[in-house]
Amino acid sequence: MRPVDLSAFIETLARQSGEAILPFFRTQMRVDDKDGHRFDPVTEADRAAEIVIRRAINAAFPTHGILGEEFEAERPDAEYLWVVDPIDGTRSFICGLPVWGTLIGLMRGGKPAMGLMNQPYTGEMFVGDGGKAWLKGPRGRRELQASQCKALADAYLMTTDPRLFRDGDGPAYARVESKVRLARYGTDCYAYAMLASGQVDLVIETGLKAYDIVALIPIIEGAGGVVTTWEGQSAKDGGRILAAATPELHEQALRALKG
């Protein structure tokens, strides 16, 4: 299969999952139902979207594997493995903020080969195909380019929640935050999209799963950024993640994390 076909297919997955999710976003049904179960729009939307994505993959590529947040892995040892988080940014989704995203990544031979982050409410689709990265949005398509920021003192930093860093990771994160120009919280996957867009320069997180990061790696790298674990290893398995706009900034942040 040619890469161009996969690019078109991954965008189809984004559109279909977006259509499955949007009816649950900003729903007014935050009430207990008759059986005493609270309506949970995230869980409902998560499941609906992952079912749509799995069905489409299985129909088009029955030999591909699928790793998703909501259901059991299918053919996890396949050459092509799709890695899916239908809603990354649960709190944003619950609270009505348009900064969650659907993450759809494709690994080939154990390496991230293509990735997409879709934000259906704003109509933004961030894509990396292993070469370039681009944004398709309501105002057209443009290539993504990370910033040229090379110094911590100039950097804008994002993390989802500083309270998530436990034990030694808290002081390590705080060392970086104390050196940057600005820190912004509460961003989830949208942080990496903004790094690839040149808006922010650093993202630092911990406790990520593979499905939280695989789709984002080709977007970050396609925009010229660098993303690894805090040990400088491949980010594909998740864990403690550091993304930076430039190799120089990445190196400085790694050093600050180590203390």
Name the minimum Å distance from CB 233 to a copy of itself. 27
51 is a site residue for a copy of itself (CB under 8 A): no
> Which amino acid type is present at position 195?
L
154: burial class by Cβ within 10 Å (0-12, 13-18, 19+)? middle
Q: Which of 9, 126, 156, 173 binds a copy of itself (CB under 8 A)?
A: 156
Q: Which of 60, 78, 94, 151 binds a copy of itself (CB under 8 A)?
A: 94
Give the interface size with a copy of itself as a residue count (CB under 8 A).
Answer: 31
31 is a site residue for a copy of itself (CB under 8 A): yes
The smaller minimum CB distance to a copy of itself, of residues 9 and 156, is found at 156
Q: Cα angle vertex 218, ends 79, 242, to 5°?
A: 115
The smaller minimum CB distance to a copy of itself, of residues 79 and 161, is found at 161
The smaller minimum CB distance to a copy of itself, of residues 26 and 258, is found at 26
Q: How far apart are CA 17 and CA 215, in angstroms?
A: 15
199 is a site residue for a copy of itself (CB under 8 A): yes
97 is a site residue for a copy of itself (CB under 8 A): yes
253 is a site residue for a copy of itself (CB under 8 A): no
Name the minimum Å distance from CB 158 to a copy of itself. 7
184 is a site residue for a copy of itself (CB under 8 A): yes
Q: Which of residues 224-243 bind a copy of itself (CB under 8 A)?
A: none
User: 107 CB contacts (<8 Å, ≥6 apart)?
Assistant: 80, 81, 82, 83, 113, 214, 236
The smaller minimum CB distance to a copy of itself, of residues 26 and 55, is found at 26
Tell me the per-residue interface mask from 103 to 122 with a copy of itself, x by CB under 8 A, - otherwise: ------------------xx
Q: Which of 16, 169, 198, 234 binds a copy of itself (CB under 8 A)?
A: 198
Q: Which of residues 72-91 bind a copy of itself (CB under 8 A)?
A: 91
**Which residues contact a copy of itself (rule: CB under 8 A)?**
26, 28, 30-31, 91-92, 94-99, 121-122, 145, 147-148, 156, 158, 161, 182, 184-187, 190, 194, 197-200
